[in-house]
Amino acid sequence: MRDAGGRKARDVLAVGGRLLGAARSLLADHENAVGAVRTALAPLVDELAAHELESIPAARLKDVTQGRLRLGAIEAAGHTSVRQVLDAGRYGLRQIAGVGPQTADQAYAAARQIAEAVGETVAVRIDVDHPEPRTTALVIALHRLVQAGPDAARAVEAARQADAELGPPLARAAEAGGWLRQRFAGREARARAQAAVDAVAELCERADQRGTALLIGQASVDLLRGPADEIEAWVDFELRSADYYSLLAELSGGGPDVAAAEGFLPSEVAERVRSQPLDGTHRRVSLRGYQAFGARFALAQRRVLLGDEMGLGKTIQAIAALAHLAAQGGTHFLVVCPAGVLVNWTREIGARSTLRAVPLHGAERQEAFAEWRAKGGVAVTTYDALRGFPPPDGGPRVAMLVVDEAHYVKNPETRRSLAVAAWAARGERVLFMTGTPMENRVAEFRSLVRHLQPGLLDRPGAAERAGAAGSQAFRRAVAPAYLRRNQRDVLAELPALVHTDEWADFSAADQDAYRTAVLAGNFMAMRRAAYADPEKSAKLLRLREIVAEAAGSGRKVVVFSYFRDVLGTVADALGPAVHGPLTGSVPPARRQQMVDGFTAAHGHAVLLAQIEAGGVGLNLQAASVVILCEPQVKPTIEHQAVARAHRMGQPRPVRVHRLLSTTGVDERLLAILRGKARLFDAYARRSDVAEAVADAVDVSDVSLARQIVEEEQRRLAGKDG
């Protein structure tokens, strides 16, 4: 019996030892891979930091020492920047006439302090179009970890847990010695040895249930692969640069300011969100810090509006929240979105999680709805289709309702808003998502918040007092339900966004078409008069030039217009090779096919898109040139369209060309748009200056059109007189 017991104990300890050895090997392999990234990153960071320090005058050292430092002699000796002070070092500074040891030491210490701060904030940008040896080395080093994927991160965490839990009982069992020695040991020693063996057995059984050994083994294989060649690594980087930058931010310890990543929420709300667990069992994507916070915000606050600027991964944050709830036992989830992004949502759920997506769309949507009610999963439907599905009065509850592009329900009286409200009232958690929570009025923003947490603004006089007090008071009032982060605050690695207003004089044909539209009082015809005669259109000539320039450098172009006939004119001008036009009448699946074909095209390509169709939900980061055929009535429409290309995952600088006429409607429209943009900044986007009160700017499309038409009629009448 003792021999059988001894064999069993030895077997248990052998299994535990193998698991511990595999865990420690994985941790060592992972540390080597991380070390390779940091080794490749260091010279790039040092160069950026040195450049930054060169631009900081030495006089700023006084700020670090509260003005006590005397720098006259140091500056007179030619050390006029913080970098020059650092390069001189303590000894060099002490050799300067009039600089004592204490001053030299203080100046150098202050310079080091600034250098450390700069080193933490510089962001390395990888230029895919101009690779050089140092960035190539970094991309190759990152490639190994990116290829291992999010499973590697889970494996490393499991390995750390195995090391911490298995190490001590295995050590205690080893100290107890063999089974024969235990026969002659005292009762207490045998009990300790048996307790250690039992602990190892329990831990090994738990690890077996979780599949820890398999997870660690696969990650070890992935991390031990040889380095990729340059071409393979660069191609992979271009295809999924967001994954590379996410990993780079994580390993470098850089990234956004914590307050910015947390949307500048009040401390009590932020603390509650931080303490919310986030289970990644059903997730297949690594999250950036701000994305994990966004998912936790949705879970902790339960009924919220995620207003992140376009391109920050709101869809991924929603899927992370759904995956967490699934791990906690949630079975039924519902996503409501515009028709144009239904296919994209279905794909993302399958790619980013282990959850089952169930599209409720098309002729068989009622059968799909019945199947979802019976079996569960993530149902994905459109605003229009939602009206045909009765909100659940019994059976499984919807663990989370996600409403994408939630500004579609800003008007509470519409049928789509009433349908969403009925489902939201029966959901345990509700997540509204939109990068444009307010377009014309703060009242629209309040309407979205009332869908979620009406008590925030429905207290007697609360909304009015918040509006009258200005934007900061309003943001504080809605903070428990509203989280927004902007690209500039949390994506330091985003490539440059270069806006160019392309002004062109009306041709004689343009002028004639414009005059006819003004006299007829036709605002829409006024907006597209510059394309009335394609052969003589000044805007179209400039558009051709921009496209030709992009073709010369192999860049992809997306052309946006509000008007289908303008897109038709552009298509005729550019020839049959263009993709699209992508319009509101194109079925969702066909829209995605157009985008896929555009993305897959080798080198230069052009996609034509109606701005309110292509500007919503689709990812167009294959394009690095954006052309806006005319200014839009709402600034958020332009922002949304541009953000389809300038978003996380875009490896190239994005150039935006807005085509404008020097006379006519364009200039007057821009002046009004600037006021509307200020309103949005003050109330929905974080801003240090509150420039408006609640309804300072209230411009509907109809009133704007009437105002401009009347002004232009008076102007032309005066000119004719």
Percent of the chain residues past pLDDT 90, beyond the cut: 30
pLDDT confidence bin for 256, thresholds 50/70/90: low
Distance CA 423, CA 509 (A): 53
Of the ranges 296-305, 495-504, 658-667, 683-692, the best mean pLDDT one: 296-305
Joined together, the tokens standing for residue 403 give 């409403």
User: Which range among 59-68, 358-367, 377-386, 543-552 shows the weakest confidence by mean pLDDT?
Assistant: 59-68
Q: How far is CA 210 from CA 215, 216, 321, 323, 324, in A?
A: 9, 11, 22, 17, 17
Is residue 510 within 8 Å of residue 476, measured between CB atoms?
no
Query: Which is nearest to 513 in space by CA: 566, 584, 551?
Result: 566
Q: Mean per-residue pLDDT for 177-190?
A: 57
Average pLDDT, the chain: 82
Look at the domain 496-720 and name its fold: Rossmann fold (3.40.50)
pLDDT confidence bin for 692, thresholds 50/70/90: very low
What is Dmax (Cα atoms) for the chain?
A: 119
Distance CA 206, CA 139 (A): 38
pLDDT at 329: 94
At 267, the amino acid letter reads S
Sequence spans of domains, the chain: 1-254, 257-489, 496-720
Taking 90 as the threshold, does the pLDDT of residue 398 lie above it? yes
State the CB neighbour count (10 A cutoff) for residue 221. Answer: 11
pLDDT digits (tens, 9 = 90+) for 599-650: 888 889 999 999 887 655 567 888 889 999 999 887 778 877 888 887 767 7
Of the ranges 237-241, 301-305, 661-665, the best mean pLDDT one: 301-305
pLDDT digits (tens, 9 = 90+) for 426-467: 888 999 998 766 555 567 777 888 888 877 765 544 444 444
pLDDT confidence bin for 123, thresholds 50/70/90: confident
Q: Does 496-720 match 257-489 at the fold level?
A: yes
pLDDT digits (tens, 9 = 90+) for 75-113: 888 998 889 999 999 889 989 988 888 888 888 888 888
DSSP string, 568-595: HHHHHHH-TT-EEEE-TTS-HHHHHHHH
Joined together, the tokens standing for residue 364 give 């068989």
pLDDT at 674: 65
pLDDT at 373: 93
DSSP string, 652-669: S-EEEEEEEESSSHHHHH
pLDDT confidence bin for 116, thresholds 50/70/90: confident
- CATH code: domain 257-489 is 3.40.50.10810
Geometric angle at alpha carbon 452, from 450 and 458, rounded to 5°: 35
Of the ranges 191-200, 463-472, 485-494, 598-607, the best mean pLDDT one: 598-607
Q: Mean per-residue pLDDT for 537-554?
A: 88
pLDDT at 415: 92
